[in-house]
Amino acid sequence: MKALVYNGPRDVSVKEVADAKIEHPMDVLVKITTTNICGSDLHMYEGRTNVEAGKVLGHENLGEVVEIGDAVGRVEVGDIVCLPFNISCGFCKNCERGLTGFCLTLNPGTAGAAYGYAGMGPYSGGQAEYLRVPYGDVNCLVLPEDAGEKENDYVMLADIFPTGYESTELAGVKPGETVVVYGAGPVGLMAAYSAFIKGASKVMVVDRLPDRLKLAKKIGAIPIDYSKESPVGQVLELTGGEGADRGCECAGYQAHDAEGNEQPNLTMNQLVRSVKPTGGIGVIGVFVPEDPKASDKLEKKGQIAFDLGLFFSKGLQMGSGQANVKKYNRHLCNLIHEGKAKPSFIVSHELSLKEAPDAYKHFDAREKGWTKVLLKPAA
Amino acid sequence: MKALVYNGPRDVSVKEVADAKIEHPMDVLVKITTTNICGSDLHMYEGRTNVEAGKVLGHENLGEVVEIGDAVGRVEVGDIVCLPFNISCGFCKNCERGLTGFCLTLNPGTAGAAYGYAGMGPYSGGQAEYLRVPYGDVNCLVLPEDAGEKENDYVMLADIFPTGYESTELAGVKPGETVVVYGAGPVGLMAAYSAFIKGASKVMVVDRLPDRLKLAKKIGAIPIDYSKESPVGQVLELTGGEGADRGCECAGYQAHDAEGNEQPNLTMNQLVRSVKPTGGIGVIGVFVPEDPKASDKLEKKGQIAFDLGLFFSKGLQMGSGQANVKKYNRHLCNLIHEGKAKPSFIVSHELSLKEAPDAYKHFDAREKGWTKVLLKPAA
Amino acid sequence: MKALVYNGPRDVSVKEVADAKIEHPMDVLVKITTTNICGSDLHMYEGRTNVEAGKVLGHENLGEVVEIGDAVGRVEVGDIVCLPFNISCGFCKNCERGLTGFCLTLNPGTAGAAYGYAGMGPYSGGQAEYLRVPYGDVNCLVLPEDAGEKENDYVMLADIFPTGYESTELAGVKPGETVVVYGAGPVGLMAAYSAFIKGASKVMVVDRLPDRLKLAKKIGAIPIDYSKESPVGQVLELTGGEGADRGCECAGYQAHDAEGNEQPNLTMNQLVRSVKPTGGIGVIGVFVPEDPKASDKLEKKGQIAFDLGLFFSKGLQMGSGQANVKKYNRHLCNLIHEGKAKPSFIVSHELSLKEAPDAYKHFDAREKGWTKVLLKPAA
Amino acid sequence: MKALVYNGPRDVSVKEVADAKIEHPMDVLVKITTTNICGSDLHMYEGRTNVEAGKVLGHENLGEVVEIGDAVGRVEVGDIVCLPFNISCGFCKNCERGLTGFCLTLNPGTAGAAYGYAGMGPYSGGQAEYLRVPYGDVNCLVLPEDAGEKENDYVMLADIFPTGYESTELAGVKPGETVVVYGAGPVGLMAAYSAFIKGASKVMVVDRLPDRLKLAKKIGAIPIDYSKESPVGQVLELTGGEGADRGCECAGYQAHDAEGNEQPNLTMNQLVRSVKPTGGIGVIGVFVPEDPKASDKLEKKGQIAFDLGLFFSKGLQMGSGQANVKKYNRHLCNLIHEGKAKPSFIVSHELSLKEAPDAYKHFDAREKGWTKVLLKPAA
């Protein structure tokens, strides 16, 4: 089958690889119809991870079940399914509490497995014609009858919609509260969108790319351009000097300052200043335990110079980590199905699989207009 | 009246000061019978804060109501009361949600007021004969009929028992879980004690002072001496390699490494390594927003070099801040009253007010046997 | 001053009564500009309670502060304030946990006080020119600068908006869930409106009055007319046979069956059948501990024949009680201020105080078009 | 193999039945070493359910894994395992949220499956030599190395310990609170025991059988004998007239009044009177949706005459349903393993399988001394 393969830093290509197939009685085989390029794919693309050459990428996947293992009981051939990016067993200590992003079974020695991802187990990604899904009954979200019509919305359930949503959960967003989101990439926009779904009274989104800020404004958020003025000052002004009730970190360790230099502690410390005393922060942008190629000395060790003194004085709370997609995907699916959510508003490109290498190049360059790329391997 | 006054770094004395008195119709005047020296008093004593000379110290106070303001309705003369160290109004946005440690009324411009404390408003402390208590109906915990007999237990409700307890709340301790506490000072011991009250299956306490570790063992915790061996390794071994479910930071920015050097990021990064993926950390040891006299460059700015990459990879959560005493003091009072808790086990000294200056000296030196000092101004 | 006085069953009139005035240093005196007639006023109007003749009614009040007591510190003369219907002290065991609907101070011997209400203490209501507000700093929600312009929205914060909202809290409504509301009176409509604010994917509202069902439809809910067909069957059909995730009881003991007969257990047992296993029910419609004038034998004793067997088999949960308005009014106020909520959509009449007796008559008869009456005593 | 079979009302016998065996690749086969008789077995024994003749009873099971299906990945032959009484798939909408007592997969058309139980699916019970366990990776709690030594403790994890514990969760018990438990059978005693584990300050247990009250006292609870005096009055007296913070219903529909007559609404209405305003009630005693053989007219329909008026006035909350064992069994297992819990204190008899019919007779008669019977089929 054809698949998008990582060859090395900034080098991916579409190649023939061994066919995905059923390997365990609980497996399900899915023919991929939509698979997205994620911002976190770029960490691998740029060579900032230890992902091995030859890896098939792609963890935001949707498609049709074409074969099932002997022990599969719930999922049926013909079902249209969306796959959470984190693969889970359903029965380990973490999965049974809904912490499926930290499954202890599928990537032994670590907590958490994923398709086509550095350090997340031996699983191939879905930027390919077919995908093997372990523990199919656990991992397949079977979509309703409008799956075809709303495919570009439902595919967001694989990762960025639940991920953005989880940042609002970790931050503790409640109806009527004010929320500031740092980073208006796909996940940040989903965080802002989720904050509105949860009844936020005011949502502010900080970025410097006009395309992204325009999308933030489109969904009703207040765009804050940090390239011109301190975002902290703007947030304080918009909240009567108090700071936002809640903040979401959706940029991660590759955040850039106004001059365009990478500054890993930028958004975290701005959040500590932007959120009011007793507030909460949800960290869903990726931070890594080590980053040997970083220029920043602390960042090499996976550290940041963090304003813990102010954090403590303000009595803040923060939660972090890759999203437990299964905790949210059913309910967010309902919202799409009932017409209450339409996360496809961020899609800028729908391309074929063979156009993927070119798309990586444009997306990695944060080119104007490249907000979210969907690949259609079956088209 | 007589009171313990801060004159300057490592210089306190008992002096005649203006009598405490009713200044507002909601005030209550309390004759102090027990008032403790707290570990956080030492930050002021050592000159590591901006507290002004002339300040009466003391925020762990218990005594008898001797006069009430005209608008006081619940508290009566003769009541024996314990006063939460944080003073709250009961009606601001934070107080009405139970966040009384971050009252917006009593120390305008900041969130949070306290008796005799740097940066917490103009309120005199209770290491004195009398104490003025603002909003008496809100701030007085009226004690049950065994107040006299168990005075050394009940006085712990002013601060360290609820503070230690809150660290377990912020960490999210649930029955059957394992907990590691960094710091076996009074607050750390109360954290360990609280973890057992909440049904922890195993509690580990990290320190290097034999006195403190002995007390930890006495209440059933496993003492971990970090002066000899990495505490992280010991915690992992005691938890089957997984790490503890929850961790409590009860040391703060003046934590010392095995060689006795102050290292502000020591305990936080050890906690990140000691707690299992998806776990929680409660930070109740004090960290300050700026610390000009620190030798560490980051610490001067109130920052630490923090392992955020590992924190994120493990999907950890953390909460912080001075305890909202009123959220817990009634229930902890019940436990003392019913004989289920006896926090006075940490008391090493009961002294007169005039012995206070000397006690500060010994306690500040962490001298052997000086675990907790109670002053008895009325004795 | 002029006020609406209860004289006896179905007999109210506007009379001269003693002026409201400051009686305690914490009191605030409010000149009423809007005060609503509530569905629960009708229980008193109809003589179904033990309210004494001479009582001034009215517990949904908004106005301008014209005088403050000596100990008041936060509220100022000139503030436009909305008053929660339940009066609270801010410092008792219940208030300090946010359970201000069950204040133990202001109506000794019972939990909960209110203005102008049977069994809720000696407090006069606000269907009058002036209102005395005890513990003004605790009870006044100071409104933002658009208070005048949005007065008909903000007045809903006194009772029905937080009350409707609390039914969704008690039921446990989460984003993406389905909700059924029994009763489309003002509170039921606010419950449905609140469910949408919280991100419900589908809201169904059960009633038989066309006016009310029309309003339900207007806000995006699915109206269910139970006069023609079993509402339970309709709910099951709309939820794929499963039942709704959550249910709200907003009718109370005077619910009527399709034939128009009072049947106190009607809605509760229909809810048990309409909600899916593991679901939740929020009961905010009024049920009373005794009702001597009821025809139903159990209802006389405040009992209903309740389907506990089915409730248990389905593993349901339910919460109940008068709303703790202060838990929600600030956040709901933000939503109005930011233009995210406009609860005045239910208003049908704005009348002068002297028109009140006539309005009671029409509203009590559930006449077509009388959905919600606002009185303007200062107009 | 040999098994205890239900033949008809009050008629059980040990017979040869078809061997339990692996039927699905996820199955596990367990050789039973301990299996308990549960109070809920008596509902079937007495003919008060529709359980079919020929059913093998027994849902509190522990034993050794002797065979595993092809797709089983976590559980291994030789593991000593305790089986939650409710059987769950791990992947349905309810299981994935931890509501494993309401699995939608294993008993289609209903929510919830169990071993050897009326209306809970076609699964044979474990009062037998062997037991087939569906979805073995999901349903087996693998016990630690002291499984043999503490077998009588660990077997309580199958049902009554988590069930008693869940009643305290549904009631909302928090450290320092007072708790009243109605019913001192095995589940009620486990509820009281769990309340202490969670840090309750005072636990009161209501029953009329001296044996049971003696056990309640043994674990530190206050026994309340309702045969002599109203339990409500005694609870109010023990709580300063306020009522308990929380209440647990552990008796169910077959509760008996002081004269020994079955009165299905007895405990629920006493709880409403025993719990303070804003309190919570956990209902874990069994109530059934229909009970044709009951003498009480309402009970025939699964209804009780319930004090909803008082419940509402007090703003109470209640949760109900069969326990989601998997939510608690790991943590309770830790407590047993660390020596913090020893639930075997209720065991009165350890018998062989062939003695089971006789044991049913004695246990059903609530004979003195028959508090909890353990069967040892492998002995």
Instruction: Find chain A residues with C-beta within 8 A of C174's C-beta.
Output: 331
Under the banding of pLDDT at 50, 70 and 90, the label for residue C295 is confident
The pairing of strands A304-306 and B317-320 is: unpaired
Distance CA C173, CA B105 (A): 34
Domain boundary among D283, D299, D320: D320
Q: Which stretches of A226-334 are assigned E, i.e. beta strand? A: 244-249, 275-283, 304-306, 317-320
**Residues C24, B92: C-beta atoms closer than 8 Å:** no
Tens digits of per-residue pLDDT, C59-102? Answer: 999 999 999 999 999 999 999 999 999 999 999 999 999 999 99
Mean pLDDT value across residues A86-105: 97
pTM: 0.97
How many separate domains does chain C show?
2
Q: Would you call A201 and C340 a contact, using CB atoms and an 8 Å cutoff?
A: yes
Residues of chain B contacting C, Cβ within 8 Å: 24-26, 69-71, 73-74, 89-93, 95-98, 105, 135, 137-138, 326, 330
Looking at the DSSP bridge assignments, the partners of residue B283 are B249, B320
Rounded to the nearest integer, the mean pLDDT of chain B is 97
By C-alpha distance, the chain A residue nearest C330 is A176
Say if residue C339's pLDDT is above 90: yes
Half-sphere exposure of D128 (CA within 13 A, CB side): 28
Q: Do C201 and A176 touch (CB under 8 A)?
A: no
Nearest CA in chain B to C100: B96
Instruction: Tell me phi and psi for residue B15, to 5 degrees.
Output: -135, 165
Same domain flag for C76 and C176: no
Closest by CA position to D150, among listed D14, D72, D34, D276: D34
Instruction: Using alpha carbons, select from C335, C186, C311 the residue that is nearest to residue C247.
Output: C311
Instruction: Give me the mean pLDDT over the D354-378 stretch.
Output: 96
Set of chain D residues whose Cβ sits within 8 Å of the Cβ of A107: none
* A330–D105 C-beta distance less than 8 A: no
DSSP-based helix, strand, coil % in chain C, nearest 5: 30, 25, 45
* Residues of B with Cβ-Cβ distance to D332 under 8 angstroms: 175-176
Average pLDDT, chain D: 97
- Residue D379: what pLDDT? 85
Q: Are C115 and C58 in contact (CB under 8 A)?
A: yes
Domain boundary among B279, B295, B320: B320
At A156, list the tokens: 């967001």
Same domain, C342 and C275: no
Question: Residue D56 maps to which CATH number?
Answer: 3.90.180.10
The answer to whether the Cβ–Cβ distance between A320 and B310 falls below 8 Å is no
Alpha carbons A117 and C35: distance in angstroms, whole number: 61
pLDDT band of residue D48 (cuts 50, 70, 90) is: confident
Nearest CA among B197, B275, B262 for reference residue B232: B275
Last residue of a domain, one of C320, C336, C361: C320
d(CA A221, CA A153): 20
Structure confidence at residue D180 (pLDDT): 98
Instruction: Give yes or no: residues D120 and D73 share one domain.
Output: yes
Q: Which residues of B touch C24 (CB under 8 A)?
A: 71
Token readout for A313 is: 């004085």
The count of CB pairs under 8 A between chains A and D is 56
Which residues of chain A have a Cβ shorter than 8 Å from any chain B Cβ? 94, 99, 101-102, 111-112, 170, 253, 268, 277-278, 283, 286-291, 298, 301-322
**D293 has a pLDDT exceeding 90:** no
List pLDDT tens digits, range C102-156: 999 999 989 999 999 999 999 999 999 999 999 999 999 999 999 999 999 999 9
pLDDT value for C27: 98
What is the number of alpha carbons within 13 Å of residue A367 lying toward its C-beta? 12
State whether C294 and C330 are in the same domain. Answer: no
Determine the pLDDT at residue A368: 92
Tell whether the model's pLDDT for residue A211 goes beyond 90.
Answer: yes
Judgement on whether residues C180 and C193 belong to the same structural domain of the protein:
yes
Q: Measured between CA atoms, how close is C323 to chain D, in angstroms? A: 9
Write the pLDDT tens digit of every residue in A302-345.
999 999 999 999 999 999 999 999 999 999 999 999 999 999 99
- Tell me the mean pLDDT in the region D293-312: 95
Measured between alpha carbons, how far is B14 from C353 in angstroms, rounded to an integer? 65
* Predicted pLDDT at C379: 85
- The domain that holds B194 is classified in CATH as 3.40.50.720
Residue D112 pLDDT level (bands cut at 50, 70, 90): very high
For CA atoms D304, D309, D311, D316, give the dihedral sign. positive
Look at residue D208 in the predicted model and tell me its pLDDT: 95
Question: What mean pLDDT is predicted for residues C41-68?
Answer: 96
Which of B34, B35, B2 lies closest to B18 in space, CA to CA? B2
Which residue of chain A comes nearest to B290, CA vs CA? A309
Report the alpha-carbon angle C39-C44-C45, nearest 5.
80
- In this structure, are C367 and C351 located in the same domain? yes
Output the pLDDT for position B32: 98
pLDDT at A295 over 90: no
Mean predicted confidence (pLDDT) in A127-139: 98
Residue B215's pLDDT is 98
H helix intervals, A19-106:
39-45
pLDDT, residue D338, reads: 98
DSSP notation for B113-172: EETT-TTS-S---SSBSEEEESSHHHH-EE--TTTTTTHHHHGGGGTHHHHHHHHHHHHT
pLDDT at C284: 97
CA separation for the pair D251, D232 (Å, rounded)? 16
> pLDDT over 90 for what percent of chain B?
96
CA distance A66 to chain B (A): 34
Which of B201, B331, B333 shows the shortest C-beta gap to D174? B331
- Please answer whether residues A325 and A159 qualify as being in contact, where contact means their C-beta atoms are separated by less than 8 angstroms: yes
CA nearest to B131, candidates B1, B319, B287, B223? B1
Q: Pull the structure tokens for residue C315.
A: 């593993």
Q: Which two tokens stand for residue B278?
A: 């998806």
pLDDT digits (tens, 9 = 90+) for D14-31: 999 999 999 999 999 999
Total residues found in chain C within this entry: 379
Q: Do C111 and D278 touch (CB under 8 A)?
A: yes
Which runs of E-coded beta strand occur in D215-340? 222-225, 244-249, 275-283, 304-306, 317-320
Quick one: pLDDT at residue D295?
87
Residues of A in contact with C337 (CB under 8 A): 201
Identify from D308, D310, D317 which residue to disrupt to test chain C contact, counting C C-beta atoms within 10 A and taking the largest count. Answer: D308
**Helix boundaries (H) for A198-257:** 210-218, 231-238
For residues C149 and C93, state if they share a domain: yes
Per 3-state DSSP, chain A is made up of helix, strand and coil in percentages (nearest 5) of 30, 25, 45
Shared-domain flag, residues B153 and B173 = no
Asked whether residue B282 carries a pLDDT value surpassing 90, the answer given is: yes
Of the partner residues D25, D74, D98, the one whose CB lies closest to the CB of residue A70? D25
Mutate: best of C173, C177, C246, C331, partner A, most A CBs <10 A: C331
Distance from CA of A105 to the nearest CA of D (A): 8
Q: Beta partners for D113?
A: D87
- Taking contacts as CB-CB distances below 8 angstroms, the residues of chain C near B89 are 73-74, 137
ipTM score here? Answer: 0.97
Give chains near C: 3+ CB pairs under 8 A: A, B, D
User: Are C149 and C164 members of one domain?
Assistant: no
Chains that touch B (3 or more CB pairs under 8 A): A, C, D
Instruction: Give the pLDDT score at B177.
Output: 98
Tell whether B151 and B167 lie within a shared domain: no
The mean pLDDT of D240-269, rounded to a whole number, is: 95
pLDDT band at residue A228, thresholds of 50, 70 and 90? Answer: confident
Residue D344 binned pLDDT confidence (cut-offs 50, 70, 90)? very high
Question: Which amino acid does the sequence have at D160?
Answer: I
Q: What six digits make up the tokens of C377? A: 């005593």
- Inter-chain contact A197–C175, Cβ cutoff 8 Å? yes
Domain span at D217: 160-320
Do A363 and A293 lie in a common domain? no
Q: Do B98 and C96 touch (CB under 8 A)?
A: yes
Express each pLDDT in B21-46 by its tens digit. Answer: 999 999 999 999 999 999 999 999 99
Q: Chain D partners of B201 at a C-beta cutoff of 8 Å?
A: 331, 334-335, 337-338, 340
Query: Which H or E run contains A132?
Result: strand A130-133
Grouping H, G, I as helix, E, B as strand and the rest as coil, residue C123 is coil
User: Using an 8 Å Cβ cutoff, are A22 and A69 in contact?
Assistant: yes
| Whether residue D249 is found in the same domain as residue D358 | no
- Pairwise CA distance, residues B228 & D230, whole Å: 61
Answer yes or no: is pLDDT of B379 > 90. no
Name every chain C residue with its beta carbon within 8 A of the beta carbon of D308: 268, 283, 287, 302-304, 306
Closest CA to D375 of D357, D352, D354, D358: D352
With beta carbons under 8 A apart, name residues in chain D contacting C289: 307, 309-310, 313
Cα-Cα-Cα-Cα dihedral sign, residues B215, B219, B220, B224: negative
What proportion of chain A, given as a percentage, has pLDDT over 90?
A: 96
Contact predicate D126/D58, CB 8 Å: yes
